[in-house]
Structure formats: structure tokens, C-alpha cells
Amino acid sequence: MRTQVAIIGGGPSGLTLSQLLNKAGIATVVLERKSRDYVLSRIRAGILEWGAVELFRTAGAGARMDREGIVHDGTCLASDGRLFRVDFHAACGKQVMVYGQTEITRDLYDAQDAIGASVITEADNVELHDVTGDKPFVTYSKDGVTHRIDCDYIAGCDGFHGVSRPTIPASVRREFEKVYPFGWLGLLSRTPPVHEELIYARTERGFALASMRNPLLSRYYVQVPLTDTVEAWSDEAFWDEFRRRMPEAIADSLVTGPSIEKSIAPLRSFVSEPLRWGRLFLCGDAGHIVPPTGAKGLNLAASDVHYLFEALKAHYERKDDEGLDRYSEKALARIWQAMRFSWSVTMMMHRFPGQSDYETRMQVTDLAQLEQSETARKLFAENYTGLPY
């Protein structure tokens, strides 16, 4: 088989890129290791920067998002039970949209079906070949048969555990990593959200976040030690702990219910440089991971895809390779900004093992500055709603 761009990974990065390229008349094949049902069962974050909203619209996958997504003009933060709000619209004129990543991925699969794009799921043993030559190709097996796809370029959109990044020799790669000594225990429940906006809460007991998917579906988190297991957390224990970390008035109005999903996610910051090697380009989680604190994971995937799509389009339409040559540098500049933001919010909001009183005062003072300084709110709002592409 031959295509123009072989895309490894059928998560949001790979599907969005495939959708945009197909709409621009550029042929793709997406290879996804798991089944579609499996991909659509993964629960991920749910905040879209406006740039991502516009990218999904351009990709022809925005109709349900525009019907069902909830626009938020601000977010709430709490420090030791004191609640305050950052008004994004007042601070920087921008907004975000609450719409689950799982829903976006479903919409992208539907959009790919509608245009007849080639998405091969349950593709095993994907391998990338001759990536630094002129004629790269990809092999995979399906139902015990090995197949080969010849292509011009390969987009590595296969997440943190994929094969694309390790294809780049270790001697070429430079990796930057910070692993945080805690995780987030998340619970999804069919209950009305406790507040109309998100609440990020810092307490002596640790961090908690009140989020949502829609008016009847809530997503809540509490910071837990990495040694905790989901089994050790009954729903009741979760609700008790969550209540203790929310400001009193919020805790009093919390509606609880049985969990639909409960999982623990570790927190990590990771960047691999460069994002290009020969004809291979890394996008999304394949190249970088952010802790969920700033909700940047999917949004960074969207900006990577935007840069790569524009670069491939310029190559095919005008034989202009500047975008491809500058992809890594451009994407990384924005990635590091989001790394810094999610790291700083993570540091400000969590209880670290062995944290000193001095460090606690620094967190409290950071939050006080955010509450009191228009300049600090503007910076936070610009970063949260998304820096320009």
C-alpha cells in the first residue's frame, strides 16, 4: 500500500491530523494498536483552549462540540478554604470550552468514517523503516498477516508509550523529565457539578479539583500518594476526602453518587527533543507529557498538529519546506511555555512530601498574588486559555 503521510496512533493527535490532511487532499493511513472501543473507553481531561476548539472545527469534527460544549469565562481557585475567581474574559478577553477528550475522539472517528479515511485499528507490531532516507515505510501486522505502507512522511502520534519516539536513536534524543511524588485519584459520577466553574483547591491535606463533563456529569480529583491503589479508595472515602478539601460552602452543596469510573494518574512533565528526525515528526504525547494541573495535554497535541498540518500542506501545495524544517523548533517553543505553566500550577497547588512551612508560605503567597494582582491574573488567564499558535 502507498500513502502520502502514514500516521502512527489513532488518539486525538493522529485523528485530527488525518482529518485535516484528508480535507486538504493529502492521503493518509492511520495505524492504531488498540480497538476503537478501547480508545473510546479512556477517560481523559476536558478543557479545550480556543485554538483547539477552532482546530476541531476546521477539521470538520466540531459540530457536537459546538452543541454540547460549555463555554467557561473563568475558573475558581481556593487556598485553605478561601475561594476566589480568575475571570479569563476580563483578564485577557478569552475563554475555554468544557468538552471531554473522549467525546472529541469519538467525533474524530465519526468524521474519519464520514470522509472514508483509512484508519486501521488493532494494528500490531508497527515498525518504522528508513526514516532518514527518501523512501520511508511502515510495517505492521493484522490478523497474523504482515503489511507494508510506503509513504513520504511519518507522523508519530502514538502517545508516550508508542514506537515512534524510540525509533529516534538515543544519541540524537535529549529528554527532560520531572516526576512528581503523587498522583490524582479521579472519580466520574452521574451527578450535577458542584459549581458552575472548575475549582482548583490547595489545602494542607493536599490538592483537589472539581471539574465536569456536562450538566449531569461531574469529574472530581484528589491528590493521593503514589502508593495508594484505587481499590483502597471506596466511593465514600473519596467523597469524604474531597469534601474536606473544598471550601465549606461548596462541600455543603456537593451531590454525591456512585462512581462510574475511578482511576489514579501519576503526574509527570516530560519533553523529548527534537520532534523531527528525518521524515518522522512527533506530535502530542509521543513527544511530551504535562501534568494535568493546567489541562494542557490535549491542547498541546492540538498546537503540534496545527504546525505539522500547515507544514505538510505548504510542502504538498507549494513545495515549501520551511514549515517542516522549523516544525520542531516552533512546536517546542510553545510546548515549553505550557510545560512552565503546568509545572508552576502543580507546584503552587499540591502538598509535597516533607514540605516545609516556608514552601507552604510561598504557595499561599503565589495564590494571594493571583487573587490581588491584575497583572498576575492576566498572565494566568493568557496561559490557561492558551497562548497563540
Instruction: Verify binding: residue 271, ligand APR, rule CB under 6 A.
Output: no
Stretch that binds ligand PHB, among 44-52, 81-89, 225-233, 321-329 (CB under 6 A): 44-52
* Strand runs labelled E in 161-302: 174-189, 199-202, 208-214, 217-224, 259-273, 276-277, 280-282, 288-289
> Would you state the cell numbers that stand for residue 59, as one nine-digit string?
477539521
User: C-beta of 197: minimal distance to ligand PHB in Å?
Assistant: 11
Query: Residue 287 touches which of ligand PHB, ligand APR, none (CB < 5 to 8 A by kind)?
Result: none
> Would you state the cell numbers that stand for residue 60, as one nine-digit string?
470538520
Stretch that binds ligand APR, among 3-11, 78-86, 316-324, 358-366 (CB under 6 A): 3-11
Which of 98/168 has CB closer to ligand PHB?
Answer: 98
The CA distance from 143 to 124, in Å, is: 9
15, 78, 123, 295: residue in contact with ligand PHB (rule CB under 6 A): 295
User: C-beta of 246: minimal distance to ligand APR in Å?
Assistant: 25
| x-marked contacts with ligand APR along 82-121 as a string, rule CB under 6 A | -------------------x--------------------
> Would you state the cell numbers that stand for residue 83, as one nine-digit string?
475561594
The CA distance from 217 to 198, in Å, is: 13
Nearest to 159, CA basis, from 333, 283, 339: 283
Instruction: Verify binding: residue 291, ligand APR, rule CB under 6 A.
Output: no
User: C-beta of 256: minimal distance to ligand APR in Å?
Assistant: 27
DSSP letters of 154-199?
EEE---TTSSHHHHS-TTT-EEEEEEEEEEEEEEEESS--SSSS-E
The CA distance from 64 to 87, in Å, is: 26
User: 220 forms bridges with which residues in the sheet?
Assistant: 187, 210
User: C-beta of 346: minimal distance to ligand PHB in Å?
Assistant: 10
The residue type found at 128 is: L
Nearest to 58, CA basis, from 15, 110, 16, 10: 16
Instruction: Verify binding: residue 20, ligand APR, rule CB under 6 A.
Output: no
Catalytic residue among 200, 220, 221, 316: 200
Burial, 222: exposed, middle or buried (Cβ in 10 Å; 0-12, 13-18, 19+)?
buried
Which of 298/335 has CB closer to ligand APR?
Answer: 298
Computed over its alpha carbons, how large is the radius of gyration of the chain?
Answer: 21
23, 44, 244, 351: residue in contact with ligand APR (rule CB under 6 A): 44
Task: For residue 72, indicate whether it is catalytic.
Answer: yes
From the centroid of its chain, how far is CA 296? 5
The CA distance from 283 to 159, in Å, is: 8
Contact 63, 103 (CB under 8 A): no
Task: For residue 292, indicate whether it is catalytic.
Answer: yes
219, 306, 330, 377: residue in contact with ligand PHB (rule CB under 6 A): 219
> Would you state the cell numbers that stand for residue 370, as one nine-digit string?
493571583
Task: For residue 220, indicate whether it is catalytic.
Answer: no
Query: Residue 295 touches which of ligand APR, ligand PHB, none (CB < 5 to 8 A by kind)?
Result: ligand PHB
Stretch that binds ligand APR, among 29-37, 211-219, 356-364, 365-373 (CB under 6 A): 29-37
- Kindly list the catalytic residues: 72, 200, 292, 296, 384
Where along the sequence are the contacts to ligand PHB (CB under 6 A)? 45-47, 198, 211, 219, 292-295
Where along the sequence are the contacts to ligand APR (CB under 6 A)? 8-14, 31-34, 39, 44-45, 101, 123, 126, 157-159, 161-163, 284-285, 297-298, 301
